[in-house]
Amino acid sequence: MFSDEEIRRFFHAIDAQPLSEMSNRALVDPVLFRVLYGTGLRISEALNLQLHDVDQEQATLEVRDTKNRENRIVPITRRLAATLEAYIASGHSDPEPSQHLFHTGDPSKPADKSTIYNRFRRYLADAGIPHFAPGGPHIHSLRHGFAVANLRRWAANGSDLAVMLPYLSAYMGHADLRGTQYYLRLTADAYPEVAARVEARFGYVIPDPAARQGGEQ
């Protein structure tokens, strides 16, 4: 999972890349990776977005044909909605509703996941973040970061995590709470200041150290 400092360096590396006539990378990637980090979408969900899925007035994204074969409406911040509006104006000269939001030159086709993954590795290198080290970040780490950031914020605000967890689960498109409970463990492990609140409400989710040493996967 990214640390706060690593995520700052990561986005600085993306934003610092030069414009090129050979690629629309400098236009697409600052927005694509902000959508991933700011919404917790899976990379496949983000790349499947079409222009008609972006509601700038309501500040929502409609995510279709997801991993669990369901559609969902994802609210986004007004700031991210404004970023998307500016990006669409620049990146789609003749916008049509069926055009893919993120493309590499032909808006009728989505950007390829392997292309985005290769770019991701380059930004990690530019930011000085080890990719192949044990526990090194990957694209899905942006989704992890979204979930953990929300849990940290709710804990800091004194929100009841037992009440908030179903909202996070629905937002992220989990089939049930089991997928979301993983983030409780991740948050408690990475941020000791949250651990006590997580333990108090979800002690049955967070195993004690002895259980972990016993070989839990």
Domain boundary among 98, 126, 154: 126
Are 104 and 151 in the same domain? no
Q: Are residues 59 and 116 in the same domain?
A: yes
User: What is the per-residue pLDDT for 119?
Assistant: 95
Apex 51 CA angle, 14 and 138, nearest 5: 35
Q: How far apart are CA 182 and CA 85, in angstroms?
A: 34
The answer as to whether 105 is a domain residue is yes
Output DSSP code: residue 106.
-
Rounded to whole angstroms, how far apart are CA atoms 145 and 148?
5
What is the CATH classification number for the domain harbouring 22? Answer: 1.10.443.10
Question: Are residues 28 and 83 located together in one domain of the fold?
Answer: yes
- Find tokens 């499947």 and name the residue: 48
In a domain, 133, yes or no: no
DSSP state at residue 198 = H
Same domain, 146 and 57: no
Which domain, by its residues, includes 167?
140-209
Do 152 and 77 share a domain, yes or no?
A: no
Enumerate residues 6+ apart whose C-beta is below 8 A from 146. 36, 37, 38, 39, 40, 172
pLDDT value of position 49: 97
Residue where a domain terminates, one of 92, 126, 160: 126
Residues 133, 135, 140, 144: is their CA dihedral positive or negative? negative
Q: Does 117 lie in the same domain as 149?
A: no
Taking only the tens of pLDDT, the chain with its 217 residues reads 788 899 999 999 999 999 888 889 999 999 999 999 999 999 999 999 999 999 999 999 999 987 777 899 999 999 999 999 999 999 898 999 999 999 998 999 999 999 999 999 999 999 999 876 566 788 989 998 898 888 888 888 888 888 888 899 899 998 777 777 777 777 767 677 776 666 666 655 444 444 444 433 3
Query: What pLDDT was estimated at residue 183?
Result: 78
